[in-house]
Amino acid sequence: MERKYHVCTGCALLCDDIELREVENKTIIDSACRKGAAWIKNCQHPLECTVDAKDTTTQDAIEKAAEILKNAKNPLIFGMGNSSLTAQEKAIELAKKTNACIDDTSSFCQGPFVEAILNDKIKSCTLDEVRDKADVIVYWGCDPSNSHPRHLSKYSYFPRGKMRQRGWEEDRTAIAIDVRKSDTAIICEDDFHQIPPKADAEFAHALTDALSGKVPKVTFGMKPKEILELANVLKKAEFGVIFAGLGLVYSIPDISPMEKLLEVLNKKTDFHLMPMVGQYNMRGFNHTLFDQTGYINRVSFEGDDIGHGPQYSVVEVLKGEKVDAALIIGSDPLSSLPGSIAANLKEIPTIVIDPCKTFTSQTANVTLPAAVTGVECKGEAIRMDGVKVTLKQMRKSDKMTDADIVEKIMEAI
Amino acid sequence: MANAMEIYQLLPKTNCKKCGKSSCMAFAAALLSREKNLDECTPMLEEKKYSENYTKLKGLVSPAEQASETGMIVHEDRCIGCGNCVVACPVNVAEDPKGAGSGNAPTNERVILKVEDGIVRLSNVEDCRRFGENKRLCSGCIVTCPTKAIEFV
Ligand code: SF4
Ligand code: SF4
Ligand code: SF4
Ligand code: SF4
């Protein structure tokens, strides 16, 4: 029997082996993790179509959204991590048309790594290569067991792969570096190395030293022997990969310690780094914007001019009150940004496009419900490793896609 | 799960043999191995003075009663559906090397562990290495579980 697989958009792992079965009028979701199954079953509180908190028609809400954006001098367009590639392209087009700042969550999370990969400054690889070849896997500042539940089972540690036929016990070494013993660290057992908060850069330097034949030293009481032994394991890898999590990104001022570490590792062996992107198509947004502007985020359009830099990040433009309206697509800045900065968002007219209610949607002037891509409509996305994936539709829905909504807003402007 | 001593403490300790065992202690051990179930101790069921202990014992041994024939218990509330156990189980690997054994969705019905609606489900338990005449100690699904959702009793 030919099997029909769907793709889960519950996280950026985009698992492509999900099956749906009808049993007694109920749909059973096979092989998705609990997080994915919940995502596919859809949100508890679907977003309604509103203007100023009153229910209205889609047409009305779209016109109101267009009016807000038209009247704004400097709107902000933010989010798109949970949008299809087409929706992202349209959002960028809209940003050009409205002289907007456009940014996504990557500007305060995985952006630096994605940027370095797109500019060929860091060697990365695909998840399929990890499954087929990786023998040394480092989870650094991340806990995929919770954030990307099938990461270890589908790609990074447990599965048999082309060159790793004997299974995880014999063929692979999983290492965790973290400030706490996470669920993933528990699986790594003796290969868990605990470091204090904010010590990631220091630890990366120590590893670089150890790999360069120097005696590694750290100020936090880890013995040089432990660092030397770890360096030895890394050095002996045939194909190594570091999965970089938010714990790592947040603790280093810039990514140079990791660039250096990878540089020395690649003098001795074949080592890669992959950022643990959360939202299913955050990397897609970075790629799309990069293709059009050469930058992955924090871009400001003004006529034909493209501005870029930290001053255009969502945090800075809200902090400095530099934007006078906001279009938020598939993101919840009120819950993810620091309160004082998020508060400024409440001061300006805001439009939210999302399948579900969020904190941000509760104070928005216009809310437009969108279909969940990969569940209620089809589309395309870029997986956390940069591979393009086609998303099928799982069930019928009369909701509009976010791409169509943005298109309609553009037409109305 | 309780140990035999804890169970024994709550039994009538009369060694009346009505359960078919030579002593209450033997019955406690039989409860643990699921050879007997609690209601076979008829005095506990019938005599009022034991009713409080009966309730306590029910709570102690019921996880074992729910276990599959291999003694495997899945704590569904803890399972996050990560599939680690699915790909690590040697029987799954042997029966479905390209599917379950390679981290993907199972491609046939012979696997023991699979994930349905986000939670692990058991089937074909008679093929589990811990089952039957030639049983072997296997802990593939236990050591790979990040949340300790699988337990054998
Ligand atoms: S790991 Fe991510 S993509 Fe895979 S099933 Fe779970 S939520 Fe969906
Ligand atoms: S029937 Fe109950 S009281 Fe009698 S020996 Fe068995 S366990 Fe003990
Ligand atoms: S005990 Fe071994 S054979 Fe049985 S289900 Fe677990 S991993 Fe599979
Ligand atoms: S390893 Fe544990 S959490 Fe993961 S699917 Fe199996 S029982 Fe559930």
What pLDDT, in 10s, does the model give residues A33-79? Answer: 999 999 998 778 899 999 999 999 999 999 999 999 999 999 999 99
Q: Which ligand is nearest to the CA of B46?
A: 2
Amino acid at A349: P
Strand order in the sheet with B119-122: A19-23, A26-30, B113-116, B119-122
Cβ neighbours of A266 (radius 10 Å): 13
- What is the Cα–Cα distance from A413 to B8, expressed in whole angstroms? 79
Q: What is the largest CA-CA distance in chain A?
A: 68
CA separation for the pair A371, A288 (Å, rounded): 21
Does the pLDDT value for residue B39 go beyond 70?
yes
Nearest to B87 among A28, A145, A159 (CB): A159
| Nearest to A8, CA basis, from A280, A274, A277, A275 | A280
Please, which pLDDT band fits residue B65 given cuts at 50, 70 and 90? Answer: low
Q: Tell me which residues of chain A have a pLDDT lower than 50.
A: none
DSSP E strand stretches across A86-135: 101-103
Q: How far, in Å, are A142, A290, A297, B136 from residue B70 at the CA level?
A: 35, 55, 54, 11
Where does residue A36 fall: left (phi above 0), alpha (psi -120 to 50 degrees), or beta otherwise?
alpha
Q: Is the C-beta atom of A374 inside 6 A of ligand 1? A: no
The Å distance, Cα B92 to ligand 3 centre, comes to 9
8-state DSSP, B128: S
Instruction: Provide the whole-model pTM.
Output: 0.86
Bridge-based pairing state of the strands B113-116 and B119-122: antiparallel
pLDDT for res A268: 94
Beta bridge partners of A389: A381
Domain with CATH 3.40.228.10 in chain A: 111-275
Q: What is the pLDDT of residue A44?
A: 81
Please choose, from the candidates A250, A238, A218, the residue with its C-alpha nearest in 3D space to the C-alpha of residue A142. A250
The CB density around residue A16, as the number of other CB atoms within 10 Å, is 18
Classified by CATH at the fold level, domain B72-152 comes out as: Alpha-Beta Plaits (3.30.70)
Half-sphere exposure for A324 (CA within 13 Å, toward CB): 10
Does ligand 1 have an atom closer than 6 angstroms to the CB of A15?
A: yes
β-bridge partners, A26: A23
Selected from 3.40.50.300, 3.40.50.740, 3.90.1640.10, 3.40.50.880, the CATH number assigned to the domain covering A45-107+280-412 reads 3.40.50.740
Residues of chain B positioned with their CB less than 8 A from the CB of A4: none
DSSP code at position A176: E
* Distance from the alpha carbon of residue A127 to the mean position of ligand 1, in angstroms: 14
Token pair 């709107």 in the structure block, residue:
A75
CATH number of the domain located at residue range(s) A111-275 in this protein: 3.40.228.10
Task: List where CATH 3.40.50.740 sits in chain A.
Answer: 45-107+280-412
Which residues are bridge partners to A302 per DSSP? A305
Q: What angle do CA A51, A54, A59 make, to 5 degrees?
A: 45
Kindly give the distance from the C-alpha atom of residue B58 to the centroid of ligand 2, in angstroms, as a whole number: 15
Q: Which residue of chain B has the CA closest to A184?
A: B146
Residue with tokens 């409080």: B52
| Residue-wise pLDDT tens digits, B84-141 | 999 999 999 999 999 999 999 999 999 999 999 999 998 888 888 887 666 778 889 9
Structure tokens, A5: 């697989």
Which of B8, B17, B45 has the most ligand 2 atoms within 8 A of CB, as the residue to mutate? B17
User: Of B84, B105, B106, which has the smallest distance from its Cβ to A152's Cβ?
Assistant: B84
Residue A308's Cβ-count burial label (10 Å; 0-12, 13-18, 19+) is middle
- In this complex, the residue of B82, B97, B105 whose CB is nearest that of residue A17 is B105
Q: Which atom of ligand 2 is nearest to the CA of B12?
A: 3
- In whole angstroms, what is the distance from residue A402 CA to residue A391 CA? 14
Of all atoms in ligand 4, which is nearest to the CA of residue A149? 4
- CA B23–ligand 2 middle distance (angstroms): 6
| Element spanning A203, H or E | helix A200-211
Is 1.10.15.40 the CATH classification of the domain at B4-65?
Answer: yes
ipTM for the complex?
0.90
**The pairing of beta strand B72-74 with beta strand B150-152:** antiparallel
Nearest atom (ligand 3) to Cα of B85: 7
A11 lines ligand 1 (CB under 6 A): yes
Asked if the model's pLDDT at residue B1 lies above 90, the reply is: no
CB A193 within 8 A of CB A230: yes
- Whether A45 contacts A356, CB under 8 Å: yes
Degrees to nearest 5, angle at CA A368 with A11 and A383: 20
Q: At a CB cut-off of 8 Å and minimum separation 6, what does A343 contact? A: none
Q: How high is the pLDDT of residue B62?
A: 64
pLDDT, averaged across chain B = 86
Residue A266 and residue A28: Cα distance in Å, rounded? 45
Give the CB-side neighbour count of residue A65, counting CA atoms within 13 A: 32
DSSP A400: P
The whole-angstrom separation of Cα B28 and Cα B46 is 18
Where do runs of H (alpha helix) occur along chain B?
A: 4-10, 24-32, 42-46, 51-66, 84-88, 90-95, 140-143
Q: At B5, is the pLDDT very low, low, confident or very high (cuts 50, 70, 90)?
A: confident
Sketch the domain layout of chain B as residue ranges. 4-65, 72-152
Residue B68 pLDDT: 63
